[in-house]
A = this chain, B = another copy of it.
Amino acid sequence: MKKYDLAIIGAGPAGMSAALNAKNDNLKFILYEAKEAGWFPRVSVDSHYTVDNYLGFSAISGSELIKKFRKHLTRNKIFVDNNCVHNARLEKNKFIMTLTDKEIIADLVILCTGTYQKKLGVSEIDKFLGKSVFYYCVPDGNQFINKKVFVVGGRNTGAVTAIYLKNIGCDVEIIEKDPQLNCKDKYGEKITDLSIPVRTSSQIISLNGDEILEGINVKGPEGLETLVTDGIFVCIGLNPNNDLAKKLNVELDKWGYVKVDNNMATNVAGVYAAGDITGNLKQISVAVGQGSIAEYNINKFLREKWKKE
């Protein structure tokens, strides 16, 4: 079984930042990412708008920023292991990680497992997934140019998605369950400028169609309505990816996010967390800073332990 000082689970901005610092501190670590390294939740929409709140990069697209992040890791000779961590357990003060075909052992763990998109609770929705129902719009939006689509959710991601779809030529409408949009003013203004219709206090109840989505049944202030559509884009928020946290008996808050202290330590000795999984502000800068703090405290812990040995 391969042994490491540190296993970093997830290579979004938090995990990447932790890895950079671990490399600087000469730790023996492994960085796991089952999906795409560097990816963060809004990258699909931000690729068409811009990230403008990560100090040092003015108005950069999400995909360009990811490239910079990956290049930084590559230049520092940090490589991402694309194995998926299926299970984690504590055994004699060490953490055993189960991958698809092997196990590894680590002294300490940082959970940077982020979030996944909340699913729309409508029966049989999965049969339309990837064909007419999407949880992110890029590049799937292109197939709906000159067609009718609904964006579900009027927070920032929903707003940005609707604006993007409108701009590429879709006939888009927003459905929001609250009595008003809950996005930033600048997005709200853009939605008005582009004359994107908004159905507030409304929710999708069921979907029509067999192989192909034909319409949606919406409950709103006027009662129940059936609306014809070619596709829907669901942007109703994020849930924490807390499977491994649960397996390690890490304490979660009432929304399922991992509770951490100022050092990014969880209640389980040796388990740290950083990034969106901690439930703080979901912004790249925050994830990057938290990744640094987690690694700093881990390095300090290890140096003190090694001195005693």
A199 to B: closest C-beta gap in Å: 22
B-contacting 9-mer, from A101-109, A222-230, A277-285: A277-285
Check B71 against A52 for contact (C-beta < 8 Å).
no
Q: Which residue of B lies closest to A20 (CB)?
A: B53
Q: Does A215 contact B (CB under 8 A)?
A: no
Known: A17-B285, A285-B289, A289-B287. A54 touches B52 (CB 8 A): no
Q: Tell me the chain A residues, 1-41 only, with Cβ under 8 Å from chain B.
A: 13, 16-17, 20-21, 24-26
Q: Does A254 contact B (CB under 8 A)?
A: no
- Which interface residue of A69, A285, A288, A290 has the most chain B CB atoms within 10 A? A285
The complex places the Cα of A65 from the Cα of B56 at a distance, in Å, of 7
Q: Does A185 contact B (CB under 8 A)?
A: yes
Check B289 against A290 for contact (C-beta < 8 Å).
yes
In the complex, what residues of B have CB within 8 A of residue A238's CB? none
Quick one: copies of this chain in the complex? Answer: 2
Q: Does A57 contact B (CB under 8 A)?
A: yes
Mostly, the A contact residues are helix
The complex places the Cα of A17 from the Cα of B285 at a distance, in Å, of 9
Contact partner of A56 (CB less than 8 A), chosen from B57, B58, B185, B296, is: B57
The complex places the Cα of A287 from the Cα of B65 at a distance, in Å, of 20
Q: Does A196 contact B (CB under 8 A)?
A: no
The complex places the Cα of A195 from the Cα of B122 at a distance, in Å, of 70
Q: Does A99 contact B (CB under 8 A)?
A: no
**What is the interface of chain A, defined by CB distance below 8 A to chain B?**
13, 16-17, 20-21, 24-26, 52-59, 65, 68-69, 71-72, 75-76, 184-186, 262, 280-281, 283, 285-293, 296
Question: Which 7 residue pairs across A and B have the least CB separation, nearest first?
Answer: A289-B289, A286-B289, A58-B75, A58-B72, A285-B289, A56-B68, A285-B288
